[in-house]
Structure 1
Amino acid sequence: MEQKKYLTFGNKMAYGSGDLANNIIFGLITSFLMIYLTDAVGLNAGIIGTLMMFSRFAGGVSDVVAGTIIDRTKHKWGKARPWVFWTIIPVVVCEVLMFSTPSMNTTLQYIYFFIIYTILNDVFFTLNNVAYSTLSVLITANKQERVQLGVVRFVFALVAVSAISGGTMASVNAFGGGVVGWRMTALIFSVIAAVFYYICALSIKELPPSELGIHEDVAPEKTGVFQNLGKLLRNKYYVMQLFINILFNGLMTMVGAVGVYYMKYVIGNAAMLGVFSIVQVVPMFLGLIFTPMLVKRWGIYKVNLIGFTLATIACIPFMIFGMKGMTTPMLISHGFVWLFRAPMLGTTSALTAEISGYTYRQTGKRLDGSMFSCMSMGAKVGAGIATAMTGWLLALSKYDGKLDVQPQSSHSMITFMYVALPLIINVIMVAILMLQKVEKANETWDAHQITAK
């Protein structure tokens, strides 16, 4: 039986614009904040990484708090949409401040960085991102439309990543480099992000609870943060997805942060980061286009497992050629890696909705906001660990941002982080994906309920 459709093409594009904004904000931080602080401001990579780690871990807790706040919200716009709207200005202001480090005592610069970074990531961006992710389950009850929303949001994310990767260094240099160049670049990107945030917040509407199959006597959920967390942790599929999100976001953070170092010091051309970004985007875009069709035929589980297994295999030549600095074969294998990774990214929201549905079946409680905080928590904790490791490993390798030529130890460490680590993480993720059978569990539960009646 054909499911009822809730979204127009314009609704889907408006929703996707929110992730374009998210990735402008988050992408500039994950890919360029470290090199801005080490090379433009002159701070120590190890100290920066440690401060980021503490902030990110705190952000992991704030994600659950944000999810609970959203679950309890009662507003004429719904539960999640108001928070997307309310947090836009604070997010973009903090983004500009993040790349506007004042000229003062070094210790005060570390303090300034930590305060702004924590306020941005652990408060405003957390509320915005968790609310945005939760919207995918609140604006449609159609499973295929949720898959389509996941595809659309990641297509828009790819556009943002391409713009950030390819345009940031050019913009910084165009404004004269240094702290001024970075501040102006952050200002421009933040204004663009604000525009797309508003398009998202003002162009979509949440469905009434009855349309989503939620009874008024169980919405909103009245339990506290730790009670909600307990319910989530008793859902084994939530725990699996949390680990997947931590691993993948950690990997992407480290590769994103060290990518500009690899291009600048190993390849010898920082502009190559833009080329690698384009080669990543085009195959991934193709993979995302076919994801809804593949999921409709084989389901989320098979599509994700097969896709990521093939991506892991493609990581092998990327590592081999990357160790030798052979850019052309690296680019080819890089394209295949992202072609096969695309389905997992495109199905993230739909899979999280399935996991949320499993909790609802087991407990009778709707915890959509708390459930979607899994995605944000995974990003925060994974990025925290990866950022700290990036800073520590760079410092351990004797990297010095004030030197034009880095020691061989730094070259070796940067190469390992950029080309070898992805293969290791991918293998672990495939092992977890083999167990992520939440769709089957929900189908079995529903079948039992029908039989019982």
Structure 2
Amino acid sequence: MKQTNNVYEGENRSLHMKERIGYGVGDFANNMMYAPVNSFFTYFLTNVAGLGAGIVGTILLLSRLMDGVSDLIVGTFMEKIHSKHGKARPWLLWWCVPFAVSLVLMFSAPDFGTTGKIVYAFLTYNLAVTVVYTAINLPFGSLAALMTKNQTERGYLNISKMVFAFGGGMVVNALTLPLVKYFGNDSSAWMKTFVIYGAVAVVLFLVVFFTTKEAVTEEAEKNDTVEKVNISEALKSLVNNKYWLILLAIFFLNSVVNAFIGVNVYYAQFIMKDDSLVGSLSIFQNIASFVAFAMCTAIIRKAGKQKIAIAGVAISFVGYAMVLVNPTSYAVLYTAAVVKGIGNAALSGVMYGMLADTVEYNDWNSGIRAEGLVFSANSIGQKIGSGIGSAILGWVLAGFGFVSSSAIQPDSAINGIRMIFLYVPIVVFAIMFVILLFYKLDEEYGGIVKELEARAEKKNAQK
């Protein structure tokens, strides 16, 4: 394999820093939708649109279950539709503008009456998240596996992706409520805020499109090794891919926890009596994440992704558990935010790279290489997990007597907010820790790649 300017040509190439950063900014764009859905959408529907918390929970659960099906549909189309720009990159170009439009529609609250608001919320949420977000996020996630087969480079791509993801989340969590207040603190102010977020997303998705290259796709086409994927057989292969199933569970559970972030705005408003706490805690947590990402970059080759992921889950568990010491202490909340940021960065910094490695395992185990369907684990797990988490949030609030659009809540509702904020994440991280103990692909990956190369050489020799 030849080398030019220290950059390997072909599917195992090293990547320019421009490509790593260019790829990473895509998750800043994704978080213009993903972060506000987790952090503010339940609050928006209950306190701005005026819908009941139980109704909101039901809307989100039904929508997310539908959303899981949309991931398989997009993954299937990814395996069938190729263009001159590759297998994943064109989707960023096709869907960036619909992404912005649907985002604004989702955070609009026209006065259609109660029934009309319910229907509007259901339709716009599904347009934005079930259709558009799936159509752009799944190909974006798959792109890392199509840029290179170099495992270390995939780790770097994942770290770049997550640095910008946390950056996007920090910006959204820190600026949304201040921007809404600046624009008038009414329903139109929410819409104006998300016009800005949508415009930012369009620009960044175009940056990804123009700075990345699908070397794996190009190499396969050049060597005439592109094969049509039998979708039913590919789906069966995923069921037999134990590491894919493990990561599906991890993405699901991690998204359940992320959905519970939506309780933060309620906790800040009704327990701490300080709306600004949402943004300031997010800043502390994300700054800690940025520092932790730098550490992940330094140790990823030595420690391996699984060990880093396990450490991240354990640290996150400690971060959530320590709040129990004094749930209303600012010092404890800010310290816990830093610890959570470190743990979340360690897990997020490697989990997408781990998922990319399951592409090779799937190829080795079943003879089927299907990046689109493999990466649907990320999208399916995120969306169904987020849906269930958001539904639980809405149902618990409703079950404990939360009163929509009210500045004063009964003691029962306050207890429900405390329960979600303090206890549920601890249980979820304990389960994740146990699951990750069974992930052993780091130890097996080198041998798998060598065997795949040997198979390819044998196949080419027989032609």
Q: Could you say if the C-alpha distance between residues 321 and 221 of structure 1 is closer, same or farther in structure 2, counting changes exceeding 3 Å?
A: farther
Gaps of at least 5 residues in structure 2 are 459-463
Question: Do 1:6 and 1:139's aligned partners in 2 also have CA atoms closer than 8 Å?
Answer: no
Task: Tell whether 2:182 aligns with 1:177.
Answer: no
Q: Which residue in 1 is equivalent to 2:234?
A: 228
Aligned to 1:103: 111
Structure 1 SS opposite 2:402: coil
Distance 1:216 1:368 in 2: 18
Shift of 1:153: 1.0
CA displacement at 1:439 relative to structure 2:
2.1
- Partners of 1:307 and 1:276 in 2: how far apart? 19
Q: TM-score, normalised by structure 2?
A: 0.92
Cα deviation for residue 210 of structure 1 reads 6.0
Structure 1 pair 449/8, CA: closer, same or farther in 2 (3 Å)? closer
- Look up the SS of the partner of 2:206 in the other structure: helix
Partner of 2:461: none
Superposed CA deviations along residues 88-110 of structure 1, whole A, max 9, x for unmatched, are: 11111011111122212211111
Q: Are residue 298 (structure 1) and residue 303 (structure 2) matched?
A: yes
> Aligned residues: percent identity?
28
1:313 and 1:402 map into 2 onto residues whose CA distance is 34
Does 404-413 or 259-268 show the bigger shift? Answer: 404-413
Query: 1:11 Cα shift?
Result: 1.4
Question: Is the contact between residue 262 and residue 415 of structure 1 (CA under 8 Å) also seen in structure 2?
Answer: yes
Letter in 2 for 1:235: N
Structure 1 residues 212 and 284, CA gap change in structure 2 (3 angstroms): farther
Q: How far apart in 2 are the matches of 1:190 and 1:310?
A: 34
Query: Aligned equivalents of 1:408 and 1:169: distance in 2?
Result: 25
Conserved? CA contact 2:282–2:337, under 8 Å: no
Structure 1 gaps of 5+ residues are none
Which amino acid counterpart does residue 182 of structure 1 have in structure 2?
Answer: W
Q: For 2:135 and 2:222, locate their aligned partners in 1 and report how far apart those are by CA, in whole Å.
A: 23
The aligned residue for residue 247 of structure 2 is 241
Contact in 2 for aligned 1:221/1:365 (Cα 8 Å): no
Q: Secondary structure at the match of 2:286?
A: helix
Is the 2:86–2:218 contact (alpha carbons within 8 Å) kept by the matching residues of 1?
A: no
User: 1:449–1:393: structure 2 CA closer, same or farther, 3 Å change rule?
Assistant: closer
Partner residue, 2:358? 355
Q: 1:208 to 1:230 in 2, by over 3 A?
A: closer
Alignment of 1:272-283 (within 5 A): 272-283=277-288
Root-mean-square deviation (Å): 2.1
The equivalent residue for 1:370 is: 373
Q: Counterpart in 2 of 1:130?
A: 138
Answer yes or no: is 1:387 the counterpart of 2:390. Answer: yes
Q: Deviations for 1:142-181, whole angstroms, at most 9, x for unmatched residues? A: 2111111111111111111111111111111111112111
Matched to 1:244, the amino acid is: I
State which drifts further: 259-268 or 190-199: 190-199
Q: In structure 1, how many angstroms separate the alpha carbons of the residues matched to 2:115 and 2:360?
A: 48
Q: Judging changes above 3 Å, is the alpha-carbon distance between structure 1 residues 449 and 250 closer, same or farther for their aligned structure 2 residues? A: closer
Runs of 4+ in 1 over 4 A off after TM superposition: 212-215, 444-453
Shift of 1:9: 1.4
1:172-225 CA-to-partner distances (Å, cap 9, x unmatched) read 1111112111111111111111111111122212115364699634x343312x
CA distance in 2, matches of 1:384, 1:307: 23
Contact 1:141 1:212 in 2 (8 A): no
CA distance in 2, matches of 1:25, 1:283: 23
Deviates more, 1:197-206 or 1:430-439: 197-206
Question: Given the superposition, is the C-alpha separation of residues 208 and 109 from structure 1 closer, same or farther in structure 2, using an over 3 Å criterion?
Answer: same
For this pair of structures, how many residues does the alignment match?
448
Residue 365 of structure 1 and its aligned partner are, at CA, apart by 1.5
CA–CA distance in structure 2, aligned partners of residues 270 and 250 of structure 1: 23
**CA–CA distance in structure 2, aligned partners of residues 215 and 62 of structure 1:** 32
Among candidates 309, 316, 328, match of residue 314 of structure 2 = 309
The equivalent of 1:47 in structure 2 is 55
1:300-352 Cα distance to aligned partner (Å, 9 max, x none): 12222233223323332123322xx1121121122112213312201122111
Give the 5 Å matches for 1:8-157.
8-157=16-165
Inter-partner Cα distance in structure 2 for 1:209 and 1:152: 21
Q: TM-score, normalised by structure 1?
A: 0.94
Change (3 A) 1:311 1:31: closer
55-64 vs 436-445, greater mean Cα deviation: 436-445
Distance apart, 1:369 and its partner CA: 0.8
Q: What is the CA distance between 1:366 and its match in structure 2? A: 1.1
Aligned to 2:338: 335
The answer as to whether partners of 1:38 and 1:45 remain within 8 angstroms in 2 is yes
In 2, are the aligned partners of 1:15 and 1:149 still within 8 Å (CA)? yes
- What is the alpha-carbon distance in structure 2 between the residues aligned to residue 23 and residue 309 of structure 1? 25
Q: Distance in 1 between matches of 2:321 and 2:215?
A: 45
Opposite residue 177 of structure 1, the aligned amino acid is N
Deviations 1:3-24 (A, max 9, x none): 9444211111111111000001
Distance verdict in 2 for CA 1:337–1:78, change over 3 Å: same
Q: Distance in 1 between matches of 2:332 and 2:221?
A: 51
Residue in 2 that maps onto 1:320: 325
